[in-house]
Structure 1
Amino acid sequence: MHFMSSQEYTTAQEHAAQIDSIRTQYEELAELAGSLAHEIKNPLSVIHMNIDLLSEDLAEIDSPISRRSVDRVDIVRQQCERMEGLLRDFLRYARLRDIDLVPGSLNEQIETVLRAYQAQADAADIDIEKYLDPDLPAIMLHSDSLQAALMNLVKNALEAMEEGGQIWARTYPTRTGVALDLIDTGSGVDDNTVLHMFEPFYSTKEGGSGLGLPTARKIIEAHGGRISVQSEIGRGTKFVLEFPTPKRLG
């Protein structure tokens, strides 16, 4: 058995103190960023409202100048809407802290999300196949946030398939809990995108906030779980979500 020397103990204490200091600074920065986003949101809403009013006024004036002005006002409105969406996604990301978890069914969560997107899938000629283990053990979950994470993943899968395709959802027990595979036959992404896709503000989509997947990962990690991804251009993408199962619920 190894006992720490006084020097090793002091070093460990200093290291722990540094970690606590970094964590405190991060929390303060996150709180400041959230407050700043709120402060930006309010005047932006006022700008958006007045842009709409200005557009209505210009529409009543029939002249070449007013028509050009309407086009420019539309550009400003579109950018306002983009900024409002970005702020909305950021605040959702920044607010996610500890969540209250209760026993629940992962199968029911993915079933609810897939039902919500069934009409969109049908319209796009996309088949949704479900292979959900009926004996899947319960997990500790927060329904609203977990469904939000799953909706982001399913939405991404649908958007990756322009001319039909398939989505597979499969649940199964693992050695330490349960897992969910979400597989699509979409366009896939390259290795560099896989490497960075969970980083905040990284996006390959036109007008995307780059916060959807980071928020999904943050939600899954708040459930004690983890998410991984494999993808190949031209073949599709596979997300694997793993959640622990407390022994008392197994």
Structure 2
Amino acid sequence: MSDDVRNAKTETTETLRRQYEELAELAGSLAHEIKNPLSVIHMNIDLLSEELGDIEAPARQRAINKVDIVRQQCERMENLLRDFLRFARLREIDLTPGSLNHQIDRVLRAYEAQAEQQNVDVEMYLDADLPAIMLNSDTLQAALMNLVKNALEAMQHGGQLVVRTYSTRGGVALELIDNGPGMEDSTVIHMFEPFYSTKSGGSGLGLPTARKIIEAHGGGITVQSEPGRGTRFVLAFPVPRRLGGGG
């Protein structure tokens, strides 16, 4: 490849990158501007609902039902905007040495009551000698919570979630394996695409945001699933040489 062609490709890539960043910033600003009037609408809908409750009229219940529909849609839009803003704003994050075991343990403790209520048996096999990785605790836990939450939602009537950490060549890995209903290939192919969701009322931004967070840590995420046999997520993270002996 000639230098001219190489330079032209580099310039094109840089131009596209700038355009993407400008578009992402614009979309984030637009979402923020929509969020403010939507909050006002939601607040006034709540006030209107209280006032309707004090009115004695045959049509009162029909009016309340319509108000409830508007409130539900406001809440759905607020949740969508919240997830979108989180997705759009995630770029570079500050990383410090930390334990992947500690992060997943905290997340599992947060969902302990829900797992027990749903009769989901959580089996943990965390490597005690796992090296430290560079991580951002808040964002990484948000990604892990999304994955654990999805696994539990897939096992509403009980099941098993196996969580395992282990060392790999040049890094560490975390496996989340559930024996829920699994997914078709068509779902697996699209599940990390923004706004793709098979859940009623879902924003479709949970898994794309989780992947973005993991990639911001220099890692990657893969998924294997089969209908009737469950789903397996594997998260891989690099271990910097200078941290090779940490735990």
Matched, 1:72 2:72: no
- What is aligned with 2:165? 171
- Determine the C-alpha separation between the residues in 1 that align with 2:57 and 2:151: 45
2:153 partner amino acid:
E
Q: SS at the partner of 1:97?
A: coil
Give the 5 Å matches for 1:196-207.
196-207=190-201
Give the 5 Å matches for 1:204-243.
204-243=198-237
- What is aligned with 2:81? 87
- What is aligned with 2:106? 112
Q: SS at the partner of 1:198?
A: coil
Q: SS at the partner of 1:203?
A: coil
Deviations 1:58-103 (A, max 9, x none): 1111222111000000000000000000000000001101001000
Q: 1:44 aligns with which of 21, 38, 56?
A: 38
- Determine the C-alpha separation between the residues in 1 that align with 2:97 and 2:21: 29
- What is aligned with 1:35? 29
Q: 1:19 aligns with which of 2, 13, 16?
A: 13
Matched, 1:162 2:156: yes
What is the root-mean-square deviation in Å for CA atoms of aligned residues? 0.7
The number of equivalent residue pairs is 244
- TM normalised by structure 2 equals 0.98
- Determine the C-alpha separation between the residues in 2 that align with 1:62 and 1:214: 48
2:23 partner amino acid:
L
- Determine the C-alpha separation between the residues in 2 that align with 1:47 and 1:110: 38
- What is aligned with 1:59? 53
- Determine the C-alpha separation between the residues in 1 that align with 2:234 and 2:93: 22
Q: SS at the partner of 2:59?
A: helix
2:78 partner amino acid:
E
1:41 partner amino acid:
K
Deviations 1:127-178 (A, max 9, x none): 1000000000000000010000000000000000121100000000001200
Matched, 1:148 2:137: no
1:37 partner amino acid:
A
- Determine the C-alpha separation between the residues in 1 that align with 2:113 and 2:20: 42
Structure 2 unaligned regions, length at least 5: none
2:194 partner amino acid:
P
- In the TM superposition, what is the alpha-carbon distance from 1:187 to its structure 2 partner? 1.3
1:179 partner amino acid:
A
- Determine the C-alpha separation between the residues in 2 that align with 1:14 and 1:192: 37
Flag as ranges the 4+ runs of structure 1 deviating above 4 A: none
Deviations 1:37-59 (A, max 9, x none): 00100000000000001101111
Q: SS at the partner of 1:187?
A: coil
- TM normalised by structure 1 equals 0.97
- In the TM superposition, what is the alpha-carbon distance from 1:235 to its structure 2 partner? 1.4
Q: SS at the partner of 1:156?
A: helix
